Structure 1
Amino acid sequence: MSRGRARLQPPPPGTRTTTLAAVLVLVLLAVVALPLRCDAASAGGEEEEEQQPLDYREALEKSLLYFEAQRSGRLPYSQRVTWRGHSGLTDGLQQGVDLVGGYYDAGDHVKFGLPMAFTVTMLSWGAIDFAADIAAAGEWRHALEAIKWGTDYFVKAHTHPFVYWAEVGDGDTDHYCWQRPEDMTTSRQAYRVDRDNPGSDLAGETAAALAAASIVFRRSDPHYSHLLLHHAQQLFEFGDTYRGSYDSSIEEVRSYYASVSGYHDELLWAALWLHRATGKEEYLRYAVDNADSFGGVGWAITEFSWDVKYAGLQVLAAKISHTHSGKDLISWHS
């Protein structure tokens, strides 16, 4: 969602939706509905003028095309949005790191790590659960490219086991300037979380994104899948060992993507995705042992977003329950 100016106070959960995450809803709905064809009929059973069936394949195609329009960095020859060009090629230069790539958040040119990671987690989840439908629509390669554009950037941003670059650009100065990303002249200051300035929510969500993506690439590119999983495990350890919310460490993000729900949901979210990616019981045990104290158990959740992950947690846990007996889960919890 394009934002013309910074908000003075962080909003409560549910009041903000990044444009990338909003498009994900369209992507997933399009995938789920691919087999469907909707024809119009009158309520009384009488046939009205025939309407064209809804084309969910086209909806999926255009939803994935959106991500190409949001790309930052050096664009490939396969770029389909031809009016875009290379941009942000000096990102990270001031700090001596390579932070070129990733996705712009919306109509601005800031790269916010938390909503970007959630976006890739959801793209990967859709690719895992609806792979056959995406392939049948002819969009499998584009889906993989959308995911990899994000994960390549996350690997770059993870420059040390306990260092992750959370943001590039400054929303306050960026939103005063209306220009193409290819022509931007605003600050490309980068901000990081580390042991002294923790960001468990950001580290947890990025770990979840990389773990989910590792499943997507497991067959087509085992080496890349292993790389993503390696970074996911390190980021989870980082987030769990040095706990704290990233917006307490990075003041600049508070007016845009403050972690209102805290970081506990992201740690649980990451643990369950790591369990799904590795099959290791230690990650499932972590989620079970911390479920009560971290929250979400038995809650009637009304939001699932870049900030609040409890609803997604409940879905993943429900899927796991089909492969583990209730007795086993109860015994771990007791």
Structure 2
Amino acid sequence: MAFTTTLLAWSVLEFGSSMHDQIDNARAAIRWSTDYLLKAATSTPDTLYVQVGEANMDHKCWERPEDMDTPRNVYKVTPQDPGSDVAGETAAALAASSLVFKESDPQYSSKLLEAAITVFNFADTYRGSYSDSLNSVVCPFYCSYSGYHDELLWGASWIYKASGSSSYLSYIQSNGHVLGADDDAYSFSWDDKRGGARVLLSKEFLEKNNQELELYKAHADNYICSLVAGSPGFQAQYTPGGLLYKGSAANLQYVTSTSLLLLTYAKHLSLSSIRVRCGGSTVTAQSLIGLARKQVDYILGDNPANMSYMVGFGERYPKNIHHRGSSLPSIHDHPQRISCNDGYRYYHSSAPNPNILVGAIVGGPDRSDRFSDNRYNYQQSEIATYINAPLVGALAFFSANTI
């Protein structure tokens, strides 16, 4: 949820001017989330509430939100049970969102930034992973596989951008090599923030010619080169149809987040007249935009299956998504309660979902561009807010740029 919020805020910060009459909806979505995160964060400075509900119990039930009766236990991270990963991302979400509201609601913006700093101090002072501290309730669903160092770098980077405080720049310089800045990982997701942190910090270098951050420009270039076929640093895999492919479960999360990074980097390369060098080749902003457009067009239907992976968009889209509320009849059509186990008759049904979750992006096709439209195949048919959030910025960009 925090990563979703950070990327939705970043989408607005980079491409909000292209959202036109949707900008208020974007801000409202961010505020819905930050209001919740504030409540989770502001009880005491050394406590962050991070989960409501028993993940294992919830996953055993197939029922509507209105009918849920599984335990609503509340879990927190503390000095004794730290969670630098979840706290670092929460700090990033609050700081990034503070910039969204800086002009429209200065008082709320200040409140968000103040909370971000408090949460980050807690994350940094009491270091540890929340999937260690809360292993039995967090894993295997929300384990932090990349550790927490990337979230500390990410959180500090957003607070530096939001506050302009030199102390956070000093923190990044002093701790960056320990927090993964020197490790050229070629991923960006809800679990691994290193690629995003490099692009964010390289923006500061490009915008302000801050020589202290020049190293991050080099690392961001390495990340970009890893995506460009034919370059010496090429690391990515693409399907025969041209889709970036990182993994079998919810692969489109990597596609949407990478597309946002490509467009953000392209924007700031254009403004600075600086290019990316991949070995002996020069990669222009236009080529990055073209690569991102290929990914976005693929999601929307320009692919070998002629399938739109956005529910409700286009002539052909997934009809059997792995989503309880979508697959079960609404309370208007079926007022009687549907219990935990009774809902599975709808899960196993071959009938299309009765409630179309318009706009949701599914996990997407496999490495061979094949997609199985059934609820059992959650790796491909499950939807997630962290898949959608970065696509908001990409769609805003392409709505205003037809190139």
Q: TM (normalized to structure 1)?
A: 0.62
Residue 208, structure 1, aligned to residue 89, structure 2 = no
User: Map of 1:309-328 to 2, 5 A cutoff?
Assistant: 309-325=193-209, 327-328=211-212
1:227 counterpart SS class? helix
Distance in structure 1 (CA, Å) of the matches to 2:101 and 2:37: 15
1:180-219 matched pairs, under 5 angstroms = 180-219=64-103
Q: Does 1:293 align with 2:178?
A: yes
- 3-state SS of 1:191 partner: strand
Letter in 1 for 2:16: A
2:30 to 123, 142, 147: 147
Distance, in Å, in 2 between the alignment partners of 1:144 and 1:237 is 26
Structure 2 CA distance, aligned partners of 1:238 and 1:125? Answer: 23
Output the CA distance in 2 between the equivalents of 1:324 and 1:286: 18
Tell me the amino acid that sits aligned with residue 131 of structure 1: G
Cα offsets for 1:90-117 (capped at 9, x unmatched): xxxxxxxxxxxxxxxxxxxxxxxxxx10
Partner of 2:11: 126
1:230 corresponds to: 114
- Identify the residue that residue 308 of structure 1 maps to in structure 2: 192
Q: Which runs of 5+ in 2 are unaligned?
A: 216-403
SS of the residue 2:19 aligns to: helix
Instruction: Determine which of 133, 152, 156 is the counterpart of 1:267.
Output: 152
**Structure 2: distance between partners of 1:209 and 1:140:** 18
Distance 1:148 1:329 in 2: 31
> Paired residue for 2:39?
156
Q: What's the Cα RMSD here?
A: 1.6
The alpha carbon displacement at 1:291 in A equals 1.4
CA offset at residue 141 of structure 1? Answer: 1.0
User: Could you tell me which amino acid in structure 1 is paired with residue 119 of structure 2?
Assistant: L
When residues 153 and 326 of structure 1 are mapped into structure 2, their CA distance, relative to the original with a 3 A threshold, is closer
Runs of 4+ aligned residues of structure 1 deviating over 2 Å after TM superposition are 322-331
Secondary structure of the 1:295 match is: coil
Mapped to 2, the partners of 1:327 and 1:290 lie a distance apart of 17
Post-superposition offset of 1:281:
1.2
Give the Cα–Cα distance (whole angstroms) in 2 for the partners of residues 193 and 220 of structure 1: 32
1:189 deviation in Å?
0.5
- Identical amino acids, percent of aligned pairs: 46
Q: Which amino acid aligns with 1:285?
A: S
Residue 330 and residue 311 in structure 1: after superposition, are their counterparts in 2 closer, same or farther (change >3 A)? closer
Task: Write the distance in 1 (CA, Å) between the matches of 2:70 and 2:173.
Answer: 45
Deviation of 1:296 after TM superposition, in Å, equals 3.2
Q: Deviations over 1:197-253 (max 9, x none)?
A: 111111100000000000000111111111111110000000000100011111210
Tell me the amino acid that sits aligned with residue 235 of structure 1.
V
Q: Which moved more, 1:272-281 or 1:289-298?
A: 289-298
Look up the match of 2:142: 257
Whole-Å separation in 2 of the counterparts to 1:149 and 1:330:
36
Partner residue, 2:58 = 174
SS state at 2:79 partner: coil
1:199 is aligned with what amino acid? G
TM-superposed deviation, 1:157:
0.7
Give distance in 2, aligned partners of 1:139 and 1:261: 34
